[in-house]
Chains A and B, each alone.
Chain A
Amino acid sequence: MRQGTENGALLENLRLELRRGCLVLAVLAELRNEQYGYTLRKGLAERGLAVDEGTLYPLLRRLESQGLLASEWREEDKRNKRFYKISRDGKLVLKQLLTEWQGIGASLEEILKESRNGSS
């Protein structure tokens, strides 16, 4: 039973690590359209990439400090909300990251194909 729990925790950690790498890409891609934090989080969750606010907001701040996002406080529905949008530099980085992502996907597919052939 304990072994099962440990394996579960290990799998969860590995899963988080894997998703963390994709998160920057997903956030930059989502912010091609301006959004505020809460709708961004919901949008990611609806597309199967749920992320807690403790991860998302620090990431948004980091990406903004790196010049990949721009943000502004605006009133909407009688409340002040911070809207984020990808910057010009962010678009360039996103393009490069997407190429990288596709390269990784292709390599991984190749590796998995080889191991499938090897195991059959």
Chain B
Amino acid sequence: MDLLNRYLQAVRFWLPSEQQDDIAAELSEDIRSEIEEREAGLGRKLTDNEVEEVLKQRGRPLLVAEKYLPQKSLIGPVLFPAYKFVLKLALACWLLPWVGVWIALMVLNPSYRAHHSGAGIPGDLYALWMNALSAFAAVTIIFAVLERFKDRSGFLNQWSPHQLPPVRDTQRISRFGAAVELVVGVFFGVWWLKILWALTLFEADGVKLALAPVWHQFFWAFVVVWLINTALSAANFVRPYWTAFRRGVRATSNFATAGILTLLAKAHATVIFTGPTVPSGKIAEIAQVLDWSLQIAFVAAGLGLIIAGFVEVWRMSTTSRKQIRLNHGMA
């Protein structure tokens, strides 16, 4: 019976202490009854191998004990879909952009590449791992807390169908949104093109913040993108409904702007800061900060525009399919 005792001891290990004796005694009795019955049938004692077979049929001690334990989970089945969704969101909105910016900086920025390649890569991978781990831990902790309090909060019971968001029509454009986009686009565009032409951002009391001359080469490219965007905003305001063509125009504009930003990053387009009373060391320090900030901004904005462009391309294909279905339906 050594095997049986070892088995019972292993099962006991996983049981709550206040129930260990009771459950183990009952389990022991059940197994002994089975062994006795087999022995009576065979007319002899069971061999060690036969006892082993009986115990194996019962299953691993952990599995046997688990059936006696109350069901417990860190995040239960009710909240699990939301938990999975937020984890995916953290991956898409935090980790992937982080990786994207890192790759783009490595490709486009020689000084960043010099600092981070070779021995710098393990440090960056460690930072990525820590980012991923902290995002995962934060989301898990929040959902574990929600899981504990979900019943007490009454959140799952107190609801009304009227509180649910209205059915989304992804093809419809908000007229107010289109109007805001048009007005802001026109004013911002005129302001930006004026600066791009004169290259001066700010000037007062001898302190001057200006764009480097290389920016001037991109003036006409910005004019074209601005005209396209303004025309699109105007069309969206007049007829507030997406068509495949307009989605295509938005995607093209996004890709074109991302291209301009990439070229600006490659051309090392920066901002020049001058001031007669500011020491030259301080100016160099400010220039360094501005340079880095701009490089990161170009890369982040470029990536964002590329992603937005692909989203528009995908929506363009779904818009086309919907239009085809609509036409078939009307025929």
Q: Which of B41-49, B58-66, B144-152 contacts A (4 or more CB under 8 A)?
A: B58-66
Which residues from chain A sit less than 8 Å from chain B, CB to CB?
36-38, 41, 53-55, 57-58, 61, 73, 79-82
Bound-state CA distance A81–B27 (Å) is 10
Minimum C-beta distance from A53 to chain B (A): 6
Q: Is B26 an interface residue (CB 8 A)?
A: yes
Task: Enumerate chain B residues within 8 angstroms of A73, measured Cβ to Cβ.
Answer: 25
Q: Is B203 an interface residue (CB 8 A)?
A: no
**Given A57-B68, A58-B68: A79 touches B29 (CB 8 Å cut-off):** yes
Minimum C-beta distance from B15 to chain A (A): 11
Closest residue of B by beta carbon distance from A73: B25
Q: Is B32 an interface residue (CB 8 A)?
A: yes
- CB pair A54–B63 under 8 Å, yes or no, is yes
Task: Enumerate chain B residues within 8 angstroms of A38, measured Cβ to Cβ.
Answer: 29-30, 33-34
Task: Enumerate chain B residues within 8 angstroms of A37, measured Cβ to Cβ.
Answer: 26, 29-30
Task: Enumerate chain B residues within 8 angstroms of A55, measured Cβ to Cβ.
Answer: 67
**Does more than half of chain A's interface fall in helix, strand or loop, or is it mixed?**
helix
A-B interface, 9 closest residue pairs, ranked by CB to CB distance from nearest: A38-B33, A54-B67, A58-B67, A38-B30, A58-B68, A82-B26, A37-B30, A81-B29, A53-B30
Bound-state CA distance A36–B67 (Å) is 19
- CB pair B25–A53 under 8 Å, yes or no, is no
Task: Enumerate chain B residues within 8 angstroms of A53, measured Cβ to Cβ.
Answer: 27, 30, 58
> Contact flags (1/0) for B195-219 with A, using CB distance below 8 Å?
0000000000000000000000000
Which among A41, A54, A81 is the interface contact of B64 at CB below 8 angstroms? A54
- CB pair A82–B29 under 8 Å, yes or no, is yes
Bound-state CA distance A73–B33 (Å) is 15
Minimum C-beta distance from B22 to chain A (A): 8
Can you give 23 contacting A-B residue pairs, CB < 8 Å? Answer: A36-B29, A37-B26, A37-B29, A37-B30, A38-B29, A38-B33, A38-B34, A53-B27, A53-B30, A54-B58, A54-B59, A54-B63, A54-B64, A54-B67, A55-B67, A57-B23, A57-B30, A58-B67, A61-B68, A73-B25, A81-B29, A82-B25, A82-B26
Closest residue of A by beta carbon distance from B25: A80
Minimum C-beta distance from B62 to chain A (A): 12
